[in-house]
Amino acid sequence: MKMLKTLALALALSLAASPAFAEKGALNISYVKSPFNLQMIVMKEHKLLEKKLEPKGIKVQWHEIDSGAQQATAMASGALDVGGVLNTTSVQMANAEGNPVIIIAGASRPTDVFAIVGQENGPKTFADLRGKTVAGPKGTVLHQLLVAGLAKEGMTIRDVKFVQMGIPQSFSALMSGKVDAALIAAGALVKAKQAGKPVIATATGLVTPILAMCASKKFIDEQPELLKDVVAVQDEAYDWIMAHHDEAVALGAKEQNISIADAEQLYAWSHYNKRLNENDIKSLDNDMTFLIENGMARQKVDSRSFILKSAME
């Protein structure tokens, strides 16, 4: 735990040292390739942002950060202008804490990508998890999935031994038998299933994961034209994926170091999009109530307050 805190501090200091856009003519954007964010992968590997911005004298600076919470913190400090991909749970929690992280474009609705997985001879249902050790990332869609599944059985997070871990660490703990169940996603989920680990539940029917591209309010207010450029490139990446399916999946497989077959599975689970819709608003409203009721957010925030109108269909 001490090591994790040290690493988190080092990351924060590193990001804080990054030059602000307005001072150095650079766009600071996070690179988030997991769970299977093809728009991000295509954008970075094909240098779409660089081709769009560098002729205008703007340098693109990529920061590899998977955590939505860490991206939100970096945007609050001014070290990051754009969060390449955040889950909306992290966005809601940031805004509830007074950190205005704004959704500027859609990314995906990967309902089947997130799951809780058990051991072969271990728990098979949420009810079976009582008193068991569950590893996973706190304050995420996966955390919400666990709490929602337990709530259906009249249980709370206090009825299990929840251990805060990132997805790679949770997967390793599951595979080594150190935990009874783990909250994992994407490639880790594919590998766990291949190893014979039973899926207790996916997010389907419990939570609707929504991933989106976000930006700090300061960046949006001060750089409206650059904002348009970033969203245009996000759309360009989406359009390229739709027109070049095989090439996109192969690129994602290479970047994630997985097989083409596994990449095709993740593609099918991801449900990519450009914009949010009214059903997403309803889902976010339900999620906000859920976060408040389960002590994961301190105050309610109107969903439309952190979504640009241009980010809606």
Q: Are residues 132 and 193 in the same domain?
A: yes
Residue 28: which domain range?
A: 2-110+209-311
Q: What is the Cα Rg of the chain in Å?
A: 19
| Residues 282 and 76: beta-carbon distance below 8 Å | no
Q: Are residues 172 and 122 in the same domain?
A: yes
User: CATH number of the domain that 286 lies in?
Assistant: 3.40.190.10
Q: Are residues 215 and 289 in the same domain?
A: yes
Q: Tokens 């474009």 label which residue? A: 105
Q: Given pLDDT bands bounded at 50, 70 and 90, which one contains residue 19?
A: very low
Query: How confident is the model over 30-44, as pLDDT tens digits?
Result: 999 988 999 999 999
- Percentage above 90 pLDDT, the chain: 75
Q: Are residues 10 and 142 in the same domain?
A: no
pLDDT at residue 22, rounded to an integer: 39
pLDDT at residue 311, rounded to an integer: 97
Residues 14-27: what's their mean pLDDT? 52
Q: Are residues 124 and 100 in the same domain?
A: no
Query: How confident is the model over 288-311, as pLDDT tens digits?
Result: 988 888 777 889 999 999 999 999
Query: How confident is the model over 225-269, as pLDDT tens digits?
Result: 999 999 999 999 999 999 999 999 999 999 988 899 999 999 999
Q: Are residues 16 and 81 in the same domain?
A: yes
pLDDT at 181 over 80: yes
Q: Which of 178, 202, 226 is the last residue of a domain?
A: 202
Q: Are residues 45 and 172 in the same domain?
A: no
Q: Which of 174, 202, 230 is the last residue of a domain?
A: 202
Q: Are residues 190 and 222 in the same domain?
A: no
For the record, the structure tokens of 2 come out as: 């001490």
* Closest-CA residue to 235 (of 16, 68, 49, 35): 49
Q: Are residues 243 and 149 in the same domain?
A: no
Residues 52-68: what's their mean pLDDT? 93
DSSP string, the chain: -HHHHHHHHHHHHHHHTSPPHHHHTEEEEEE--TTT-HHHHHHHHTTHHHHHHGGGT-EEEEEE---HHHHHHHHHHTS-SEEEEEEHHHHHHHHHTT--EEEEEEEE--GGGEEEEE-TTS--SSGGGTT-EEEE-TTSHHHHHHHHHHHHTT--GGGSEEEE--HHHHHHHHHTTSSSEEEEEHHHHHHHHHTTPPEEEESTTT----EEEEEEHHHHHH-HHHHHHHHHHHHHHHHHHHH-HHHHHHHHHHHHT--HHHHHHHHHHH-B-SSB-HHHHHHHHHHHHHHHHTTS-SS---GGGGB-GGGB-
Query: How confident is the model over 150-171, as pLDDT tens digits?
Result: 999 999 999 999 999 989 999 9
pLDDT at residue 10, rounded to an integer: 38
pLDDT at residue 28, rounded to an integer: 97
Q: Which of 181, 202, 223 is the last residue of a domain?
A: 202
Number of domains observed in the structure of the chain: 2
Return the biggest CA–CA distance within the chain: 59
Query: How confident is the model over 75-89, as pLDDT tens digits?
Result: 999 999 999 999 898
pLDDT at 3 over 60: no
| Residues 110 and 269: beta-carbon distance below 8 Å | yes
Strands 199-202 and 114-118 turn out to be antiparallel
Q: Are residues 304 and 219 in the same domain?
A: yes
pLDDT at 180 over 60: yes
Q: Are residues 17 and 135 in the same domain?
A: no
Higher pLDDT, 253 or 8: 253
Q: Are residues 99 and 119 in the same domain?
A: no
Residues 195-204: what's their mean pLDDT? 95
